[in-house]
Amino acid sequence: MSDLREVLGIRHPILLGAFGGLSSVALTAAVSEAGGLGAYGLYGYDGSRIRSTAAALREATDKPFVLNIWLPTGDEVEPGPQHTVFAQALEPFYEAVGVEVPARPAQYLPALEEQLEAIWDAAPAALSVVYGVPSADLVAEAHDRGIRVIGTATTVAEAVALEEGGVDVVVACGAEAAGHRVSFLRPAEDSLVGTFALVPQVVDAVGVPVVAAGGVADRRGVAAALALGAAGVQVGTAFLATRESAATEAHRAAIRQAAADETVLTRAMSGRLARGARNRAVRAIEASGTIAPFPMQNWLTGKFRAAAGEQNLGELQSLWMGQAAGLSRLDAADEVFAELAAGL
- Please compute the mean of the pLDDT values over residues 33-61 and round it to a whole number: 98
Degrees (nearest 5) of the Cα angle 172, 153, 46? 115
Residue pLDDT, tens place only, 78-129: 999 999 999 999 999 999 999 999 999 999 999 999 999 999 999 999 999 9
Residue 172 CA: distances (Å) to CA of 73, 162, 328:
19, 11, 21
User: Which residue, 5, 3, 9, is CA-closest to 125?
Assistant: 9
For residue 267, which amino acid is it? R
Q: Residue 55 is part of which domain span?
A: 4-341
Of residues 309, 196, 307, the one with CA closest to residue 250 = 309
pLDDT tens by residue, 224-246: 999 999 999 999 999 999 999 99
Strands 14-16 and 232-235 turn out to be parallel
What pTM did the predictor assign? Answer: 0.97
- SS3 of the chain: the string is CCCHHHHHCCCCCEEECCCCCCCCHHHHHHHHHCCCEEEEECCCCCHHHHHHHHHHHHHHCCCCEEEEEECCCCCCCCCCCHHHHHHHHCHHHHHHHCCCCCCCCCCCCCCHHHHHHHHHHHCCCEEEEECCCCCHHHHHHHHHCCCEEEEEECCHHHHHHHHHCCCCEEEEECCCCCEECCCCCCCHHHCCCCHHHHHHHHHHHCCCCEEEECCCCCHHHHHHHHHCCCCEEEECHHHHCCCCCCCCHHHHHHHHHCCCCCEEEECCCCCCCEEEECCHHHHHHHHHCCCCCCCHHHHHHHHHHHHHHHCCCHHHCCCECCCCHHHCCCCCHHHHHHHHHCCC
65: nearest Cα among 173, 150, 165, 182? 150
Give ∠ CA 297-69-160 in degrees, rounded to 5: 105
Q: What is the pLDDT of residue 3?
A: 95
Mean pLDDT, the chain, as a whole number? 97
pLDDT at 311 (0 to 100): 97
Phi-psi category of residue 177: left, alpha or beta, with phi > 0 → left and psi -120 to 50 → alpha: beta
**Number of C-beta neighbours around residue 49 at 10 A:** 14
pLDDT at 68 over 80: yes
% of the chain beyond a pLDDT of 70: 100
What's the whole-number mean pLDDT along residues 257-269? 96
Banded pLDDT at 1 (limits 50, 70, 90): confident
Instruction: Report the domain count for the chain.
Output: 1
Q: In this structure, are residues 128 and 152 in contact, taking their beta carbons and an 8 Å threshold?
A: yes
Query: Rounded to whole angstroms, how far apart are CA atoms 241 and 69?
Result: 22
CB atoms within 10 A of CB 327: 22
Rounded to the nearest angstrom, the gap between the alpha carbon of residue 200 and the centroid of all alpha carbons in its chain is 22
The arithmetic mean of pLDDT across residues 27-54, rounded, is 98
pLDDT interval class at 2 (50, 70, 90): confident
- CATH code (residue 46): 3.20.20.70
Task: Note the Cα 45 to chain centre separation in Å.
Answer: 14
- At position 226, the amino acid (one-letter code) is L
The residue type of 250 is: A
Backbone φ and ψ of 21, nearest 5°: 90, -10
Q: Is the pLDDT of residue 154 over 80?
A: yes
Question: CA dist 252 to 76, 153, 333, Å?
Answer: 31, 27, 13
